[in-house]
Every structure is written in C-alpha cells, then in structure tokens.
Amino acid sequence: MAIGARAARRCAAALLLLFVLTLLRDAARLDRFLGRSPPLLPLAPGIYNTSGAPLPHKINVHIVPHTHDDVGWLKTVDQYYVGSNNSIQIAAVQYIIDSVIQSLEDNPDRKFIYVEQAFFQRWWREQTPAKQKIVHQMVESGQLEFVNGAWCMHDEAGASYIDMIDQTTLGHRFIKSQFNKMPRIGWQIDPFGHSAVQAYLLGAEVGFDGLFFARADYQDIAKRRATRGMEFVWQGSRTLSSSSQIFGGILANHYSPPEGMNFDFKSNDPLIQDNPLLYDYNLQERIDLFVKRAQEQSEQFRSNHIMWTMGQDFNYEQANTWFKQLDKLVHYMNKDGRINVFYSTPSIYVDSKNTANITWPLKTEDFFPYANCSHCYWTGYFSSRLALKGYVRRLSAYLMAARQLEFAVGRNFSADNTDSLEDALAILQHHDAVTGTEQQHVANDYAKRLATGASKAAKVMEVAISVLTASSSALNTATNWFVPIWERLTSSKYLSVLPKGISGRSALSFDQCLLLNISYCPPSEAQLEDGTSLVVVLYNTLGWSRKEMVRIPVSSTRLQVRDSTGNAIPSQLIPLDSVTKKLKEIYVKAYTGNSSSNDDVYTLVFKASVPPLGFNSYFISASNGAHGCASLSSFKNHESPREVFSSKTKLKFSSSGQLQQFTDRKSGIVSAVKLSYCWYNSSDGVTEEARGQSSGAYVFRPNSSSCYPVDSKEMVSSYIKGSLVEEVHQTFSSWVFQVLRLYKDAQYAEIEYTIGPVPVNSSDAGKEIVTRISTDLESEKIFYTDSNGRDFLKRVRDFRSDWELNATEPISGNYYPINLGIYLQENNTEFSVLVDRAIGGSSLKDGDVELMVQRRLLHDDHRGVQEALNETICIDSNECEGLTVRGKFLLGLHSTQESARWRRNQGQRLYSPLEMFFSKLSSSTGKIGNPTFSATESGYELPQNIAIITLQEMQNGDVLLRLAHLYEAGEDIELSTVVRVDLQKIFGLRQVASVVELNLSANQERASMKPLQWQLDPNVEDAAAVHVRGPLLKPGDRHIDIAPMEIRTLLVTFG
Ligand SMILES: [Zn+2]
C-alpha cells in the first residue's frame, strides 16, 4: 500500500525535527563535558556509593532522614496511624514505617530515626516475628535509631513535669523491653517554645546526650546565627546548676531539609536527574546548590559538622522517593569532593561535636515566649482550650491516685487497670493536644480517650476502696494491705468482703463523681431515707496527712456529718447559686444525655482529716434535731460584706462590692488587691496596620493594648456567711461570674471563675478574656512564673537576657506559660497566684498579675490548624452555645519567709485534690469495717519538702517510685535542704527486699549513666555554681538523702 504524498511530507518533517533535536542534545551533552572536570558521570542505575564517615578537614554533612508524625492534630491519632480521612491531610503512619523499613532493607548504609512511640508500638505489634527480627537487627546496627522515644513529642508550655516524665517513661519502657535500647537524644523539633524543665529534667536527668529543637524567637535565632550560638550547653536548673547540663541545638533549617531539597512524594522540589540522556539532566546544578547550602550553614555553626534534617511532617510514606535521591546526593557530593556527606543520626552528630574539642556558649533558663515574626507571638496557646487543659490536669492527679490504689490491691492485667488512662494522658501531652491547637473533631477524640481511660481507672479505684474499707478482721488489712486482690479472690477468707460484681458477696460498692465542678453527683445528691447514711471515703495521694475542707452536693437541709469515730463534726450548707444551676442543667444534658432533675441542691462543707497515702471516712445522715446538724447559710442578695475574715486572712471590700484589700494576719502584711475582668479584641489580620496575622489557636495578637472591662454595668454581689467558709458571689456580666471563698483557717483566698458563653458576633475577630489582679507591690517589671510546675523563673517585662529585645507586641510578647503559679515580690512581701491548670499570664504593670481565662476566636491564625478556636457546647446538634470555662486560682499574700512554703505545699494540694468515693449504708449509725487507712508505717509521713510523684506497680509486681524534692536552693530557709526519706516506712509493713536507683525515665541504672562533658567558652561566668546532690543510693540502703529540686527514681522490690 502506497503512502499518500501528504503523509510522506509529514514523515520527512518529523525526521528532520528529530535530527535537529539530537544535534541540540548532543551539543548540550558536549557542553556539560567541557564545562566541568572531572565529569559527574552516573554509575549503572541503582549503584551509588553511599558509605561514608566523618573526615577531619572537610565540612561534614550529617544526613538525618526523619519524619515528624503528630500524635493527633488535623486528624485523630487513629486516623493518622491508619491513613484515613486523607481529604484533610495525606498522612498514614503505618505506611511510613512499612516503607522506611523496606528502604532500609534495600541499602544498609541508609539510616532513619523514629520518634513517637504512640505510633511505633502499634506498628510493632502488627508485625510478624520475621519482620520484627529484621527491625531488631536494624536497631542493633544503628540503622534505625529511636530519638526522644517518648509516647509523643510533648508540649513544653502546658504540660506538667509529672506528665512529661510519665509519657517519656512509657515510651522508654517500650523501647527498653523490645529492643533493650536507651534513646540518647531529645528531639523536641516542633513544640512552640522550650522549657527549662525540658533541658535539665527531661534532658540531662533522663540521660540524653543532646537536645534539638527548631522553634526559638526569631530575634534570638538571628543573633545566634550571627554569633555561632545555635548550639550551646544548656543549664536549665539554677539549683542543680552544672550537675544537670545538656548539649542543646537549634536546627538550622527549622526541622526541614535545606531549601529546595525535599524529596518526599508530596514535594515539588527538583529531583537529581543524573542521566545525561535526560533532557532535564541537572546533576551539576543540583550538586552546586547542595554545596552552597552546606557552606552557608557551616558558617553559622561551630566545628566542621553540620546536620541536615531530611524530612518533614508525615514524610516517607513512599520512602523510596526520599532515599533514592539521598543515595544520589551522598554519592555525587562525595564524588564532587568539596563537602563530605554521609547518612547519620543525631547521636552520631552529637558525638562528633563532643570530640571536636571546642568550647560552647552557656544557655540558662528557657526559650519562652516564642515568636516567629514581629507580630506573631505564640502565647495564645498557653490558654487555648482551657477546659481540656483542666481535664488533663485533673486526670493527671486522678491517675496518680488510681495507680496507688491499683498497687494497694494488686494490679489486674486482664481486666480494668490504669493502662488506658496512662495511654490517653500520654497522648494528651502531645504538642497539638494539651496545647489546644488541634482541630475540634480531634479535641473531641482526645476528650473521649481521657474519659474512657478515666472510667477504667475509676473501676480500679472503686474496687480498691471496697476491699480496703471492708471489715478489718476479715482482711487483716494492717498486714495485708499489699496482698493482691486476685490472691484474695482465690482465698475463701476474703470472699465475704468483696464488693458485688466481683464475688457476688456483699461489701460496699463505691461511686465517684467527676462533674463535681458543676455540683453534679447523683450518689451524694440522692435523698437519704431515715436510717441510712452516705459514706464518703476521702483518699489522699500525698505523703503527708492533710486537713482540708471538702464540698459535696447534697439535696437535703437537715443533715449531720460524723467522722469515723462516730462523732458529729461541724458542717455548713450552702444553697447552689443560679449560675451553677444553669450550667449544671446544660452540661449534664450535654455530657450524659439525661436531665439533672434535682433542682434542690446544696453544697455541704466540712473539714476532713486524711492520713498520708490513705483514706478517712465520713458519714452523712438525716438529722432530726438541731444538735450536730449542718448549719444552713443563706444568700444575702445584693449585698457585699465590707470585711471577710479567716483566722489568717482578712479581705476588705469597697462599698460597691469590689475586693479592695488583702491582709495576711500572721505577718501583718497589707496590700491593696483588686480583681477585674476585661477582654482584648483579637486581631482579624486584615484591619491592623501590620496585616496578615490574626489571633488564633497558637498566636495571641490583640488588635490594641486596650483591655475592655466586662463589668460595664454595676457588679452584682451576694454573700454567704458561715462557720466554715464565707463566699462572695460576684456577677460581673451575664457571662462573667466569680466566687471568692475564704475558708475558716485559710491563709489564702480562693477564686472560682466562670467565663462564658463569651458573646461574639460575625463581625468580631474574637475576644480573649483575662482576669487582672492589681496589688500595690512595686514589682519593678519583675515577676516569676514556673517551668512546667517545677522551678520558678524570673521574668522581666519587655526584656530578654539573651538578646536586645525589640518589643513589638507589648501584651502578648510578655505572656508566659503558668502551670503552678506566678508571683510578684517587693522587699519582704510576695503576692502569689496558684492555678489549677496550664494557663497563660503575665505582669503587664508593676503590682499586676494577669491570667487569660478564656479565648473565643473567629479567625484561624495561619499556623496550619485551619480552624478558628470557637468552642461550643451542644445539647443536640442545633442547640449550641459558646463553651463556658470554670476554673480556680488561689491568691496568697505572704512574707518572703513563708511564701515559697505556701506555694509548694498548697500547690501539691491543688494538683492532687482528695479523691472522693460515695456509698450508701443501710444504717444511720452504722460503721464500715475499716474506715481509716494509711499505707505508710503507723505515724510515718514524708518530710514536708518531699512529694511522691510516682507510685506505680510494674508488670512483675515491683514498684516504680519517684520522690521529688519540692524546693529550689535558697527558696526556704528550713526546707531547701537535703532531707532523708525512709523507704521502708513508706510501704508500711510490706517488706522492702531491694531498691535500685534509676535515671528519670527508668530505663537504666543511675550509677551507670555517663554524661558527656562539654567545655564552656572562656568568657562564661562561673557556670559551675554551687550545687548539692544527694548521694547515689547504694545496694542495701533503705534511706535516701534527697537534695533540693532532685527527683529520685527508684525501683522497689518486695520480699
Ligand atoms: Zn508537630
């Protein structure tokens, strides 16, 4: 068949074009050959030399492949793991790990680090023994290294040190048990600011050799880049000083690869095309860029070692796209020869820095607050989702109590135990969880996890209380307190005393109430028929006995309270205020689906006395006569007292009902103290002079320095007078309500605030509500805030000790995270505010303390969450209103001699409220078998400066015990001293067989820790300041000497 003339012409033209293109290509190829010598010819496909190690006289680039996997943020932790909900974000951790392991198998030179054990342990449990064996070998050879190794990469602003330790221990325990490895590096690459406690406690005391992060103030980073100060020796504790240092480093390129070098399948950065036959051949161009990037970076760092963090959020789902490029990069860079490049890990990098024999600058204190541009202070998240923050803090103490009681009766591995709450709380410490910077559906998922964990822990505790309160003759509790319940179950001796549902035999069964902050508690609110009584068991997790007021919702006005010896004790009844009634109605319906039908509710107040690590029982019954009957206080409406007294404190009010003056009667110190609420108008990012930054979940940016008062109308007060507590209820507006409480013997005032629903309309950007407490202390710009609830750090308004601050945000640039408290000082006087949850605050004027108590925002702040922080509560999906937040803070005015003691002691009580258990007894005069109990040897209490922060039964029945000295050096004249604890007496009659001292995360013996030594710059002033350490515990020791701010971790085995 002949071809047509037109077709033939077309064919000739095509051949000509091909010829021309071939010539052009060959010319380009020739150019390349002439352009550079030696030529960078590729090897046969797939064969690249990827071996390598540091070289002494070259710039050494440590290639560190990594992925940053948030334990919940835009998707829930489950969705991230399995890879569902990809319309929100393409991220699937299971495939990331699958894929990375395959790539590591393909080339043994490749390395990878993995961080979040909340994900890794899930993946691990899904693998075959054969795959596990391969991964084992990778870990053993150092190809795969766990860094950080905690359950998540915790937040450093709103997490308490106890929770940080716990979640790190959980991850480290998994790694130790499966791989017998101890992570060497702290890897906090994404949290929004970095705490002193992270450096010394969760860094040095854990046994890390280095700590890396990405986010520090942009002005700080600029100075550090210019002065080669990006890496330093970080000494986070003033008290432990040079005995607790760590090598710290701010990563060069955030935690990303250098610009233009991201090879993830989701990236658009150009690939290395090394085949000269490709039209897009770019090898030399790429290598030149890589060399340039390395040279630039090395100018900002000391020694000839630099690190490239090759990865980003949820990278390596198709690990091959990364590793194929990295193999080429290593091969060609080394062939080029200007720079030495090799696969590495942060531990290899730190070792290289350590052996470089050079000196380092010293960093003290912390990296708060964090700003990444002049109007972008990430100080909003200190107060984002305050209700969730409150829930986390409450359950942190709840877990502590549950673990103690779980140990008391013996751990049950197959039924309800504390593992689920431990897991949930660990996840909640993630830097997009407790921070409040997650999407709403993720916040809901987090809350659900907490609730599920709490309900399981509740069962553990309720069973334990049932067993421990049962007849002491049957249980012989004094000697058997630690006999596991499951042992008891098999013994007929105990069957008669176990609660229903366990043995079918009768014993008291107990309930708890977790909605006590809105006065909801069905077991205590139930009407008491004649002849019955309500048993209230109060459990104390502290190692000291405590006497304090308890508050219980009840529904009768004729009640009497008896102690465990049967004597009636004074009690007071307070009618429920209308604000709480309304809250209760809405929130009970929203949480439980049921109506809280009981309108007639009162709060019963009495003073309880509870032994250390133990409980006491109180009995409430109907009272017929006046004798011993609870006294009913009634509201004096529209009235405020001019003075309110306790034996130690006096409060004065103005004629309009405002708190005016605070007197500490003990020291005679008097100060003006005024309380007000106001709100900042959030920036919308459009109308301000400097555009582009709105206030959001992360960033706090008010649109002016004005704080608008909420008490625009006359404040309404009512007043309760009584023998145990006096309360002034103040309504500042329809959405701001406060109760000021003064208990009979209290040397402080308690404030309970209720904020919401915060009114906003669609034209608003949002409101950020603060409470301002104004005193007349001349604090001279100085205030003190805690680091994760532990050390107090000095803050100076509009000042940073590390660089000359250009103060561009006078309000938000002075905000700091608070977990325990904030205080001001003038001469011999201190004014302190203690908080019940993580919160943001400042002192913006001398004498003032300010706390941000609610945020309702209508704009996203462009940091990725893509939602406005506009929390609502819905009864059904269309009946919603803005969320109301209720919280507490305590005000104390003390002499300097007494102030720290109050903060430390009261701080522990605030953290660990008495846990309440309720049961019904069918006799109004009846008693329970064992109404009081203490785990410690009779009469033994821990010293006032020591707190038990962990008492947890391990798999094999051993106990992990952590004892924390609560005082800093010089904080208290008597209590800032080394103190001795008797370990045998903590455990009463249970015989301690051995005690081994461990590092903070309990994965190695403290005696075997060998911290790296670092040399400081010669101009650094006396960094090795005086510090005291308690001696290491020796085998056979039953006493431990603990120095100020030490936390000692012990593994106790019983005989
Ligand atoms: Zn993150």
Report how far ligand 1's centroid is from the alpha carbon of 373 (Å). 19
| For range 802-821, the mean pLDDT | 97
Ligand 1 centroid, distance to 982 Cα (angstroms): 43
Question: From the CA of 72, how far away is ligand 1's center (Å)?
Answer: 9
Distance of alpha carbon 580 from alpha carbon 584, whole angstroms: 6
Q: Compute the distance from residue 430 Cα to the ligand 1 centre, in Å.
A: 8
Which residues lie below 8 Å from residue 177, measured CB to CB, with a gap of 6+? none
> Would you say residue 212 has pLDDT above 80?
yes
Please tell me the distance between residue 208's alpha carbon and the centre of ligand 1 in angstroms.
21
- Please write the tens of the pLDDT for every residue from 938-952: 999 999 999 999 999
Inter-residue contact 1011 to 209 (CB < 8 Å): yes
Q: Residue 263's pLDDT band (boundaries 50, 70, 90)?
A: very high
Residue 901 predicted with pLDDT over 50: yes
Angstrom CA distances, 81 to 120, 146, 436, stand at 9, 18, 21
- Does 33 have pLDDT greater than 50? no
Q: How much distance in Å is there from the Cα of 91 to the middle of ligand 1?
A: 13
DSSP letter string, 613-666:
TEEEEEEEEE--SSTTBPEEP--EET---SEEE-SSEEEEE-TTS-EEEEEETT
Beta strands 60-65 and 305-310, pairing class: parallel
Pairwise CA distance, residues 979 & 965, whole Å: 8
CA of 679 to the centre of ligand 1 (A): 30
| Residue 769 pLDDT class (50, 70, 90 cuts) | very high
**Tell me: the pLDDT tens digits for 693-743?**
999 999 999 999 999 999 756 788 899 999 999 999 999 999 999 999 999
Ligand 1: distance of its center to the CA of 432 in Å?
Answer: 7
For residue range 92-116, what is the model confidence (pLDDT) as tens digits? 999 999 999 999 999 999 999 999 9
Reported as a single tens digit per residue, the pLDDT across 545-604 is 999 999 999 999 999 999 999 999 999 999 999 999 999 999 999 988 888 767 778 999
CA dihedral angle for residue 162, residue 164, residue 167, residue 169, rounded to 10 degrees:
-80
Q: Residues 346-371: what's their mean pLDDT? A: 97
Alpha carbon of 68 to ligand 1 centroid (Å):
6
Sheet arrangement for strand 725-733: 636-637, 716-720, 725-733, 736-743, 749-755, 885-895, 829-835, 821-826, 782-786, 792-796
The rounded Å distance from CA 213 to ligand 1 centre is 11
Question: For residue 454, with 0-12 CB atoms within 10 Å meaning exposed, 13-18 middle and 19 or more buried, which class applies?
Answer: buried
DSSP 202: I
> Who contacts 125 (Cβ-Cβ below 8 Å, separation ≥6)?
none
Ligand 1 midpoint to CA 439 (Å) = 13
What's the gap between Cα 795 and its chain centre?
21
Categorize the per-residue pLDDT at 876 as very low, low, confident or very high, splitting at 50, 70 and 90: confident
- 191 CA from centroid of ligand 1 (Å): 7
Ligand 1 centroid – CA 431 distance (Å) = 6
**pLDDT tens for residues 624-672?**
766 678 888 888 877 778 999 899 999 999 988 899 999 999 999 999 9
What is the Å distance from ligand 1's center to 190 Cα? 5
What is the CA(188)–ligand 1 centre distance, in A? 9
What pTM, to 2 d.p., does this model score?
A: 0.94
Question: Cα of 93 to ligand 1 centre, how many Å?
Answer: 14
What distance in angstroms lies between residue 97's CA and the mean position of ligand 1's atoms? 17
DSSP 8-state code for residue 1031: P
Q: Is 689 helix (H, G, I), strand (E, B) or coil?
A: coil
Within the chain, what is the greatest distance between any pair of CA atoms?
123
